[in-house]
């Protein structure tokens, strides 16, 4: 029963992470319809500068995200296996207690 | 509009959000109606307070004085004055680096409060109490999710490119900032930087690829208004720029800082006596401001600074200025501003109408000038006649403490060793005669165990 529960949590977590990842990474390279206010930006941002910035931003932003989520996934999996081990150990303790 | 032009400062005209003007010797900034929403957000969101508390933004007060252009005015603010205006081409490596990091700190804080910098010019930074501070209160615009950083190009041109060139190529390339008033063109920086800089991701992307992208899209009809960038990517750009700036280092080739500038020819007693005389002159004059010309690493500037006098410490050697600045930061000295200035070619007035950035002389006169171990360099190494040295120093000072070193001194002998002595007028008698045209000699004192003399002079009305 426990095994089924853990597999379910793992699948849910993977789907959740995939959705977050894909949305954010997609947003970072999205060509959308941002409306620039004409006089709010009085300096020339430069076409080439904006385009390279979006590309570099997607790359370094993506790397930062991977860094953040790598830690979270690692922590999640560590905790998951720790729980499993603890569950197993407590079951074994229970069984040995009953046999005594 | 006539009234406005008469008071408006020539350095402030590009941004339609407002402008600086001067009234009765006090500098004010007008906030125009078009900037109302952004200004209100800056004040109401708590961003202004947070930046001021962190010494990142110049504090200001809203005042009710008559606006020079009332039809455009939303508010008039009075920023705290900056004792001495300096420019990026006068800063040493670490000053430009600290200015860059301050700009990025301001940008990060602005993002926390839903705003972003609309420009990132190095001229938005000044040094106050020895540390860089952001002075353009109208640089903040509301951040809207999805927008790229409009000031990214400017940051790379004003900070990253010159710092990379100073670090990887030659420290003297900072002077390119005086020629290119809107920062170094990235294609120029890219071709000047050594090939190995392409192996560093930050420099490869923010300078080399950036320069290529600028060139590639220069004549292509691309709708940049549709470019979107997530907040993660925006923060990633800021992080990447900060990391790039932090990794840039500069140290004079092969020189140990501790041994730098121990090249003097007088004894410790003579040195202490010289310090005592200069200190005595300062105590007698009690100047409000001091300019130490040819300050080297700023040893004599400290005499003024220790007396609480705001002191600008000029030297032509970027290494000496770098050491002076780092020492001041380490000591927590808030009175000294070290700057790189070549006195034989001091900063001219530059920019639009030659009025945007002031010349050195326009920023004077100082109450007192220290010209110690300087005259022989100007007169003998640079062929400047004594009369012209006296004339220039009288333009920039009310009081002058000046050292005369005769030809018999070993340091002057060293300067003459490699060239013909064409300076028959370089004598103490001629020196006193020429300086007496512009100054009254109030006192003089011979430095013990040396052939040098210190003079205290007061400028006379011409």
Q: What's the pLDDT tens digit per position in B329-380? A: 999 999 999 999 999 999 999 999 999 999 999 999 999 999 999 999 999 9
CA dist., res. A60 & res. B452, Å (int): 60
pLDDT of B261:
58
Question: Is A49–B222 a contact, with Cβ atoms under 8 angstroms apart?
Answer: no
Bridge partner list, B27: B22
Mutate to test the interface with B, among A41, A44, A45 (most CBs of B within 10 A): A45
Instruction: Give the containing element (helix H, strand E) for B388.
Output: helix B386-396
pLDDT of A40:
61
With beta carbons less than 8 A apart as the criterion, state whether B370 and B278 touch.
yes
pLDDT of B259:
57
Task: Give the pLDDT confidence of B220-259 residue by residue, as tens digits.
Answer: 777 766 778 889 899 999 999 999 999 999 988 655 554 5
Task: Give the pLDDT confidence of B8-49 residue by residue, as tens digits.
Answer: 888 778 888 999 999 988 999 999 999 999 999 999 999 999
Among B168, B185, B306, B345, smallest CA distance to B248 is for: B168
The yes-or-no verdict on residue A32 having pLDDT over 60 is: no
Nearest CA distance, B18 vs chain A (angstrom): 12
The yes-or-no verdict on residue A1 having pLDDT over 60 is: no
B136 and chain A: CB distance < 8 Å anywhere? Answer: no
pLDDT of A93:
73
Question: Is B224–A24 a contact, with Cβ atoms under 8 angstroms apart?
Answer: no
Task: Give the pLDDT confidence of B267-288 residue by residue, as tens digits.
Answer: 889 999 999 999 999 999 999 9
Phi/psi of residue B75, each to 5°?
-150, 165
Instruction: Give the containing element (helix H, strand E) for B114.
Output: none
The yes-or-no verdict on residue B216 having pLDDT over 90 is: yes
The yes-or-no verdict on residue B169 having pLDDT over 70 is: yes
pLDDT (average), residues B91-104: 98
CA dist., res. B47 & res. B41, Å (int): 8
Instruction: Show the tokens assigned to A84.
Output: 């499993």
pLDDT of B355:
92
CA dist., res. B301 & res. B310, Å (int): 10
Task: Give the pLDDT confidence of A45-54 residue by residue, as tens digits.
Answer: 889 999 999 9
CA dist., res. B285 & res. B194, Å (int): 51
Confidence of residue A65 (pLDDT cuts 50, 70, 90): confident
Residue A34: which of B146, B213, B222 has the nearest Cβ? B146
B222 and chain A: CB distance < 8 Å anywhere? Answer: yes
With beta carbons less than 8 A apart as the criterion, state whether B454 and B447 touch.
yes
Phi/psi of residue A47, each to 5°?
-60, -50
Instruction: Show the tokens assigned to B118.
Output: 């609309």
CA dist., res. B325 & res. B313, Å (int): 9
pLDDT of A20:
42
What is the bridge-based pairing of β-strands B115-117 and B140-142? antiparallel
Question: What pTM was computed for the model?
Answer: 0.87
Residue length of chain A: 100
The residues, ordered by sequence, that sit 6+ positions from A35 with a Cβ below 8 Å of its Cβ are B225
pLDDT of B257:
55
Instruction: Show the tokens assigned to A60.
Output: 């370094």
Residue B224: which of A33, A47, A60 has the nearest Cβ? A47
CA dist., res. A71 & res. A6, Å (int): 20
CA dist., res. B337 & res. B328, Å (int): 9
Share of chain A above pLDDT 90, in %: 12
Q: Which long-range contacts (CB under 8 A, 24 or more apart) does B442-445 make?
A: B443/B281, B443/B284, B445/B277
Instruction: Show the tokens assigned to B404.
Output: 């005369």
ipTM of predicted assembly, 2 dp = 0.85
Residue B227: which of A31, A40, A63 has the nearest Cβ? A31
Give the mean pLDDT of chain B.
93
DSSP labels, B26-73: EEEEEEEGGGHHHHHHHHHTSHHHHHHHTT-B--EEEE----SSTTTE
Question: Is A61–B153 a contact, with Cβ atoms under 8 angstroms apart?
Answer: no
Helix residue ranges, H only, B113-230: 152-155, 161-168, 176-179, 186-192, 201-203, 210-217
CA dist., res. B210 & res. A49, Å (int): 6
CA dist., res. B16 & res. B118, Å (int): 12
CA dist., res. B344 & res. B367, Å (int): 21
Mutate to test the interface with A, among B230, B237, B238 (most CBs of A within 10 A): B230
Question: Is B239–A54 a contact, with Cβ atoms under 8 angstroms apart?
Answer: no
pLDDT of A14:
58
B354 and chain A: CB distance < 8 Å anywhere? Answer: no
Question: Is A61–B17 a contact, with Cβ atoms under 8 angstroms apart?
Answer: no
């Amino acid at each position: 029963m426990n095994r089924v529960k853990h597999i379910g949590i793992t699948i849910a977590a993977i789907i959740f992470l995939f959705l977050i990842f894909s949305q954010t990474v997609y947003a970072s390279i999205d060509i959308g319809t941002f409306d620039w206010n004409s006089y709010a930006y009085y300096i020339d941002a430069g076409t080439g500068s904006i385009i390279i910035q979006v590309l570099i931003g997607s790359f370094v932003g993506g790397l930062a995200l991977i860094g953040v989520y790598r830690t979270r996934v690692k922590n999640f999996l560590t905790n998951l296996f720790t729980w499993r081990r603890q569950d197993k150990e407590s079951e074994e303790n229970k069984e040995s207690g009953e046999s005594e | 509009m006539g009234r406005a032009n008469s008071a408006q400062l020539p350095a402030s005209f590009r941004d339609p959000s407002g402008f600086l003007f001067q009234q009765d010797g006090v500098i004010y900034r007008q906030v125009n109606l078009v900037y109302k929403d952004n200004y209100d957000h800056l004040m109401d969101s708590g961003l202004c307070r947070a930046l001021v508390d962190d010494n990142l933004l110049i504090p200001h007060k809203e005042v009710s004085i008559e606006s020079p252009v009332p039809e455009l005015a939303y508010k008039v603010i009075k920023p705290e004055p900056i004792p001495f205006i300096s420019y990026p081409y006068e800063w040493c490596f670490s000053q430009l680096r600290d200015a860059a990091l301050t700009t990025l700190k301001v940008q990060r804080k602005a993002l926390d409060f839903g705003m972003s910098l609309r420009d990132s010019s190095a001229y938005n930074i000044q040094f106050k109490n020895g540390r860089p501070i952001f002075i353009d209160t109208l640089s903040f615009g509301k951040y809207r999710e999805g927008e790229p950083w409009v000031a990214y190009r400017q940051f790379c041109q004003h900070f990253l490119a010159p710092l990379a060139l100073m670090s990887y190529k030659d420290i003297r390339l900072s002077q390119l900032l005086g020629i290119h008033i809107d920062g170094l063109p990235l294609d120029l920086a890219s071709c000047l930087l050594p090939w190995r800089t392409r192996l560093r991701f930050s420099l490869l992307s923010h300078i080399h690829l950036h320069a290529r992208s600028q060139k590639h899209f220069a004549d292509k009809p691309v709708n940049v208004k549709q470019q979107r960038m997530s907040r993660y990517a925006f923060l990633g750009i800021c992080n990447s720029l900060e990391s790039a700036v932090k990794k840039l280092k500069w140290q004079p080739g092969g020189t140990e800082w501790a041994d730098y500038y121990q090249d003097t020819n007088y004894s410790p007693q003579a040195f202490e006596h010289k310090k005592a005389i200069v200190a005595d002159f300062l105590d007698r004059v009690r100047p409000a401001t001091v300019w130490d010309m040819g300050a080297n690493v700023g040893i004599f500037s400290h005499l003024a600074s220790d007396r609480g006098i705001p002191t600008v410490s000029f030297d032509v050697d970027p290494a000496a200025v770098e050491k002076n600045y780092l020492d001041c930061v380490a000591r927590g000295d808030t009175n000294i501003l070290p700057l790189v200035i070549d006195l034989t070619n001091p900063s001219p007035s530059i920019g639009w109408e030659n009025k945007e950035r002031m010349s050195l002389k326009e920023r004077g006169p100082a109450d007192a000038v220290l010209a110690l171990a300087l005259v022989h360099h100007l007169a003998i190494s640079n062929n400047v006649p004594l009369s012209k040295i006296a004339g220039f120093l009288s333009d920039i000072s009310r009081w002058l403490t000046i050292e005369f070193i005769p030809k018999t001194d070993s340091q002057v002998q060293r300067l003459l060793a490699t060239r013909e002595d064409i300076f028959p007028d370089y004598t103490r008698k001629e020196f006193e005669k020429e300086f007496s045209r512009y100054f009254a000699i109030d006192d003089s004192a011979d430095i013990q165990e040396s052939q040098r003399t210190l003079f205290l002079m007061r400028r006379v009305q011409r």
